[in-house]
Structure 1
Amino acid sequence: MSKFDSIRPFYDSEANAAIRKIIDDPMLEAMMNFAFPNDPPSHWKDLMHHTHSLRDFQINFIYPALMKVLERSSEGLSTGGFEGLEPNTAYLFISNHRDIILDTSLLNSCLYEKGLVMTTSAIGDNLIKKPFLHTLSRLNRNFAIRRGLSGRALFESSLLVSEFISKSLLRENRSVWTAQREGRTKDGNDITHKGVLKMLTLAEAGENPFGFFEKIKVVPISISYEYDPTDILKMPELLAKSRDEKYIKSENEDFVNLLRGIMGTKKRIHIQVNGILDEEIREISNADLTQSEKLSQLAAVIDQKIWGGYRLWPSNYIAHDLLTGTKAYEAFYTLGEKESFEKRLHGKIDISNPFLVKSFLSMYAYPVDNSIKAAAAQPLSQ
């Protein structure tokens, strides 16, 4: 028994048996029929029966399914900054978080295409309670983050995750993906939670937990969707918070979000690699700061990198102008693009509700404001 058995992906030696357990599951059949519409099920089932590693499962089944998703629900994926990464090198990718599955899946597709180390990726255990999804996530090299814990149980769970991430990066040379915060950004304001960074350092022995970041290569990632396929699904939680009410998810809400994220309209998508934070981390580490202050500094640097790398689409500029009642950014979109966005707005929410209108527009407008902040921010050394 491994100490990580409760959270880890499958080992390669377990992959084939896991595949055989779900090979006749209706959800897998639907997924594969979508990925391989011209092939009889016997074709992909035969390939699966002869699949014995997570990498082969990802490349031969997850990747084609993702390419079909992009073909049917987007206008294409563009990338930038990957040329700054090296093969056979493990990175800790920290990104903004918009979509449950696609954020990490799209990153891994880019890493695969560019011959780089693919990630083991964090996923909340609330999203994989169904046995099929739990098995699929482990085949897709996800590791589970337990949700809803507090006190000692939360600390012990966080320590276990920290140890797993450290082992992946430093002993197995396996890249890791984690979001900059717990859960997806609902309001469009991408902020790195210091608690996530603190969790990463828990497994570091000695009096300088921040030293963990000096041992690894931290890479901030910006993921930009022209249209957020789950924008409307984020409204109820924002509305509850505005009323100081506790938001309680419906029984299948996470699963609905997952499916909508995959199949909903996205238009264009961009993934930007924002460099490796070696110099920034070294400078913070050498500064006369407390551990808490160092984590705050690193969170601020990651924010600036993610904001600066975010690809602003016409939807962002249109939303900002509608929200502010100006035409400050009208040079960045056409009348047709504005009409399409307004049609989406009117079709998604009750426009007689000012809070919902403001929340919907803010979701798209925030990245514009954050981009301005990033441009105005001075490097740490200045």
Structure 2
Amino acid sequence: MSPFEEIRPFYDTEVNDAIKEIIQHPMLKAMMNFTFPDAPDDYWRDLMLHCHSIRDFQINFIYPAVQKVLEKSSDGLTTSGFEKLEKNQAYLFISNHRDIILDTSLFNACLYENGLSMTTTAIGDNLVKKPFLNSLSRMTRNFTIKRGLPARELLESSKVTSAYIKNSLLRENRSVWIAQREGRTKDGNDETHKGVLKMVSMASDEENIINYFRKINIVPISISYEYDPTDVLKMPELLAKAKSETYIKGENEDFLTLLNGIMGQKKRIHIHVGNILNDEIEKIGVQETNSNKQFQAIADLIDKNILSGYKLWPTNYIAHDLLYGDNEYRGKYSEDEKEVFEKRFRKGVDINDPVAVKSYLSMYANPVNNQINVIKEIKD
């Protein structure tokens, strides 16, 4: 039995049987009716029953579903940096994270369009508790990260996850996507947690951890949405945090966020592929001998690349001017764009609550401040 049995995606040999188990599920029917609105159910069901690999499933069903989502809920997706990636080369993509499902679905669609292999992707097990979602997740080459474990179990789980990532990158030559921190960024501050890097390094058999990080080809990914389709849904947690209160998720909150993230309005979207960090990581190894400082330096390096590659939209500049009560970025947006943003803002937030106002605006304004600080640091 595979040591990754509890977390792995399906093998290709398991895909057809998994499809047969969910082929009549109402959620699958809803997905496919959305994806193929003019086709009878027999059309996609027959096509799906002849599907025998994850790649076939992704290309024939997930890819067109993503295109339909873009058509219905965005003003288009642009990209930059994909030309840096080589075919038949595995990378560890470390990304900022805004949307539960869409971030990785869009990224894999872009890889496919650029003739590159799609990734295996980390997803929290809290998101795939329902049997249908678990099957769908495993059919799209996701591996699960176990959440909320006691310390000892967390350590063992992290070792298995680390070994799975290593196996995918170095034995199967399959790229891996992971978020730079646990969970989505809700306040617009994209920051890599050292714990993620420490987890990745657990499977290393190198004496020097720098050598392992160079071997696995870390590439930072920056994804930005002009409008966060779940911005209002994030407010209760942001408000609790601002008031130093404990936030407890609602029973179906993750699922509701998942649906809103997919179908909510995003306007424009941009995905940027940063540089492969091998040379910079090698320099860190020369400059720092303390392993903890090495982890922090690599996390800072990833942050610098993600933030500098982040596409700032008019919404970011509008929020910044509103938050600070000035017109510093007035030339970055039109009156119409400001009016649309303010209308959405007033509809979703109690404007008489200064904490709510600040939390919402900061969500969009923080990327502006963060990018300014990075550019300043690079110049210095």
Give the Cα separation in 1 of the matches to 2:108 and 2:374: 26
1:158: how far off?
0.5
The residue number in structure 2 matching 1:78 is 78
| Secondary structure of 2:37's aligned partner | coil
The residue number in structure 2 matching 1:231 is 231
Alignment of 1:342-361 (within 5 A): 342-361=342-361
* Aligned AA (2:140): N
* Contiguous gaps of at least 5 residues in structure 1: none
1:18: how far off?
0.5
The residue number in structure 2 matching 1:248 is 248
CA RMSD after TM alignment: 1.0
Pairing 1:113–2:110 present: no
Give the Cα separation in 2 of the matches to 1:219 and 1:110: 15
The residue number in structure 2 matching 1:138 is 138
Give the Cα separation in 2 of the matches to 1:254 and 1:18: 24
Residue-by-residue CA offset, 1:350-371 (whole Å, 9 max, x unaligned)? 1111111100000000110111
Pairing 1:292–2:321 present: no
Give the Cα separation in 2 of the matches to 1:219 and 1:125: 25
Give the Cα separation in 1 of the matches to 2:227 and 2:378: 31
Give the Cα separation in 1 of the matches to 2:378 and 2:67: 39
1:207: how far off?
3.5
1:287: how far off?
2.5
The residue number in structure 1 matching 2:169 is 169
Q: Confirm or deny: 8 A CA contact 1:210 1:295 kept in the other structure.
A: no
1:206: how far off?
4.7
* Residue 232 to residue 67, structure 1, CA distance change in 2 (3 Å): same
1:289: how far off?
2.4
Give the Cα separation in 1 of the matches to 2:95 and 2:183: 12
Q: Confirm or deny: 8 A CA contact 1:317 1:329 kept in the other structure.
A: yes
| Secondary structure of 1:83's aligned partner | helix
* Aligned AA (1:112): Y
| Secondary structure of 1:181's aligned partner | coil
Alignment of 1:184-199 (within 5 A): 184-199=184-199
Give the Cα separation in 1 of the matches to 2:92 and 2:2: 23
| Secondary structure of 1:77's aligned partner | strand
* Aligned AA (1:270): H
Give the Cα separation in 2 of the matches to 1:8 and 1:208: 28
* Contiguous gaps of at least 5 residues in structure 2: none
Give the Cα separation in 2 of the matches to 1:373 and 1:87: 34
Q: Confirm or deny: 8 A CA contact 1:304 1:374 kept in the other structure.
A: yes
Give the Cα separation in 2 of the matches to 1:210 and 1:44: 48
Q: Confirm or deny: 8 A CA contact 1:201 1:210 kept in the other structure.
A: no
Residue-by-residue CA offset, 1:83-123 (whole Å, 9 max, x unaligned)? 11111111111110000000111000000000012100000
The residue number in structure 1 matching 2:265 is 265
Residue-by-residue CA offset, 1:236-262 (whole Å, 9 max, x unaligned)? 111112222221111000000000000
| Secondary structure of 2:192's aligned partner | coil
The residue number in structure 2 matching 1:276 is 276
Give the Cα separation in 1 of the matches to 2:286 and 2:176: 25
Give the Cα separation in 1 of the matches to 2:50 and 2:334: 51
1:377: how far off?
1.9
Moved over 6 A (4+): none
Q: Confirm or deny: 8 A CA contact 2:206 2:212 kept in the other structure.
A: no
TM-score w.r.t. the length of structure 2 is 0.98
Alignment of 1:12-23 (within 5 A): 12-23=12-23
| Secondary structure of 1:79's aligned partner | strand
The residue number in structure 2 matching 1:301 is 301
| Secondary structure of 2:234's aligned partner | helix
Residue-by-residue CA offset, 1:122-180 (whole Å, 9 max, x unaligned)? 00000000000000000010000000013110100001000000000000010000000
1:374: how far off?
1.6
Aligned residues between the structures: 380
| Secondary structure of 1:307's aligned partner | helix
Q: Confirm or deny: 8 A CA contact 2:222 2:271 kept in the other structure.
A: yes
Give the Cα separation in 2 of the matches to 1:52 and 1:178: 26
Q: Confirm or deny: 8 A CA contact 1:89 1:116 kept in the other structure.
A: no
Give the Cα separation in 1 of the matches to 2:268 and 2:42: 34
Residue-by-residue CA offset, 1:247-297 (whole Å, 9 max, x unaligned)? 111100000000000000000000001111111111112223211100100
The residue number in structure 1 matching 2:221 is 221
| Secondary structure of 1:275's aligned partner | coil
Q: Confirm or deny: 8 A CA contact 1:202 1:209 kept in the other structure.
A: no
Give the Cα separation in 1 of the matches to 2:364 and 2:95: 17
1:208: how far off?
2.6
* Aligned AA (1:46): D
